[in-house]
Amino acid sequence: MINFNSFLLYTGVALLTLLLSTPGYSQEIHSQPEHFCATPPERDERLNYYQQNLGNYRFLTDDTQFIPLKIHILGRNDGTGYTSRTMVEEAFCKMNEAFQQTGIQFFIKGEINYINNTEWYSHSSFGPGSEMILTNNVPGALNSYIVDVAAGACGYYSPATDGVVLANNCLDPANHTWAHEIGHQLTLPHTFFGWEGTTYEPDEPTPERIWFRGGWVDVEKMDGSNCREAADGFCDTAPDYLSFRWGCSANNPLGIFLTDPLGETERVNGANIMSYSSGPCRHDFSEEQTQAMRMNILLDRPDLVDQTIEYGPVAPEVNIIHPTQDDIVQYDDAYLKWESVPNATYYRVQVSALPIFTNLLVDEVVQDTFMQLPQLILENEHLVRIKPLSEFQPCNDFSERRAFIASELSNTELFPGTDFKMKVVNPASLNRGVDIELKGLEESDLRSVRIHLSDINGRLVSQLESQQFTGNKVHFETGRLAAGIYVVTLITESGGSISERVILQ
């Protein structure tokens, strides 16, 4: 039996939604939203055209389309409440994984935009959300907003303002909330389109049509005879009459038996991302849904497509050049250097003075392959690990850990009674050369030393005698050298020496 009271209530809420518009967000723990998806149940007119012409657009390229996506994370007016970047990135990667089958892949456009606005951050109606989207949407990209309360739902797409809004407590990758809402943004309706606000009653006869948003909608039949006119209009999505959340497992996406208007029965299939089945069993889009979304991008959103952009996978392995395993480094002048990883555009670097990575001394995101470290804990073992990332792949595994010791490497035994220390500016520039400072020495001490610059294989490339020093400053010209790792070695008259590596770039 169709529950028309619930339908009228739903319609009233939807109309209020359209009049008021969009949502906001919060970091506090809230109960699961009352509704899974608050996207207005409207059929996009462009979708009718796509479905009527699916066969005419088979020539569309099968190449992966890389689409920019701008992420906005909301907080309160005082800057508190942000959802963690890691959680957002993991949800983004899961969403991209869901779209991989479609040949559509997203990359994060620019820096994540953090917005402080309590009203937008936690909104129970659509008005503040629409204002948020209209104010902050970045052109040339799809826009997604992470909020605390998203109009009482896990998420929604606002057609009037073209923005996706997601509640932070529904970002669990198993939910596929993000992929579901972007499906709406690219014109896909629910698989149960027409049943929104109406409860399917398996014990009652299923009607030929149901009243929906001021008109009659055909109920899809199991034999597919009216698949193009009924429900979502796709012939390769199974009939679905369930407009409420229902459970299934990753290994079995089938739910209750549905009976169509002709009396045919079949178990509802919850594998499609545009259904309302519980997260674990939703995992794909159909071929026709894929075609429609690609047509939307290539025909109606061509400004999003840049054929020159192509991202590749980023492997987690990182070759750390310095320090080497169990190396001893100067506690107040240590640095990290690693080889660039193919397709990586930035790196997350963590350094810990504990066996586990807690209370981190360093937790930074850098674009370079070099980092000067802050003062380390003297005579303590430290661990470093690096995660290579890109705008396309903002989540990855960390590299294997590298251990090193922080110590005092002044080598005062070379000059007893002094506080001698050799400081090499790292990294050095090919254009500016290598600069060295000899601290704690008198002029008489300086006259007894010379300094060599060698390549990593020990071949001497340059040397300076004390008379070529400028006070306690030493400078090597390097314009004719190649970029790489070199070794600075100070040698005394007695044959004592101290060496330090320098990165020339």
Angstrom distance (rounded) from CA 452 to CA 463: 4
CA angle 315, 397, 27 (to 5 degrees): 130
Angstrom distance (rounded) from CA 409 to CA 201: 78
CATH of 320-407, one of 3.40.50.880, 2.60.40.10, 1.10.10.10, 3.40.1210.10: 2.60.40.10
Segment 372-424, tens digit of pLDDT? 899 999 889 999 999 999 999 999 999 999 999 998 765 556 777 777 888 88
Q: Which of 72-81, 141-150, 220-229, 425-434 comes out lowest in average pLDDT?
A: 425-434
Beta-sheet strand order (sheet of 473-476)? 421-424, 434-439, 473-476
Segment 171-222, tens digit of pLDDT? 987 779 999 999 999 999 999 999 999 999 999 999 999 999 888 999 999 9
pTM of the model: 0.79
List the one residue out of 200, 177, 175, 217 whose CA is nearest residue 41.
Answer: 217
Residues 6+ apart with CB under 8 A from 216: 209, 210
Instruction: Determine the pLDDT at residue 318.
Output: 97
| Position 425, amino acid | V
First to last CA, the chain: 74
Angstrom distance (rounded) from CA 255 to CA 262: 20
**320-407 and 412-504 agree in CATH topology:** yes
If you search the block for the tokens 């796709």, which residue do you land on? 234
Segment 107-163, tens digit of pLDDT? 999 999 999 999 999 999 999 999 999 999 999 999 999 999 999 999 999 999 999
CA angle 116, 117, 122 (to 5 degrees): 120
Architecture in CATH for domain 412-504: Sandwich (2.60)
Angstrom distance (rounded) from CA 262 to CA 244: 23
Say if strands 153-158 and 35-37 run parallel, antiparallel, or are unpaired.
Answer: parallel
Does residue 59 carry a pLDDT above 70?
Answer: no
| Position 306, amino acid | D
Segment 322-346, tens digit of pLDDT? 898 998 888 888 889 999 999 999 9
Angstrom distance (rounded) from CA 392 to CA 67: 10
Residues 6+ apart with CB under 8 A from 119: 24, 128
Instruction: Determine the pLDDT at residue 331.
Output: 86
- Number of other CB atoms surrounding residue 281 within 10 Å: 23
List the one residue out of 130, 144, 137, 134 whose CA is nearest residue 177.
Answer: 144
Radius of gyration of the chain from its Cα atoms, rounded to whole angstroms: 31
Residue 348 Rama label (left phi>0; alpha psi -120 to 50; beta)? beta
**Region 279-288 average pLDDT:** 90
Instruction: Determine the pLDDT at residue 98.
Output: 95
Segment 37-58, tens digit of pLDDT? 989 888 899 999 999 998 776 6
Q: Which of 89-103, 153-167, 449-463 comes out lowest in average pLDDT?
A: 449-463
Does residue 26 carry a pLDDT above 50?
Answer: no
All structural domains of the chain with their residue ranges: 320-407, 412-504
Residues 6+ apart with CB under 8 A from 114: 72, 73, 75, 79, 82
Q: Are 272 and 285 in contact (CB under 8 A)?
A: yes
What are the helix and strand counts (H, E) for the chain? 8, 28
The three-class DSSP label of residue 395 is coil
**Region 75-96 average pLDDT:** 95
Handedness of CA 303, 304, 307, 309 (dihedral sign): positive
| Position 428, amino acid | A
Segment 274-283, tens digit of pLDDT? 999 987 888 8
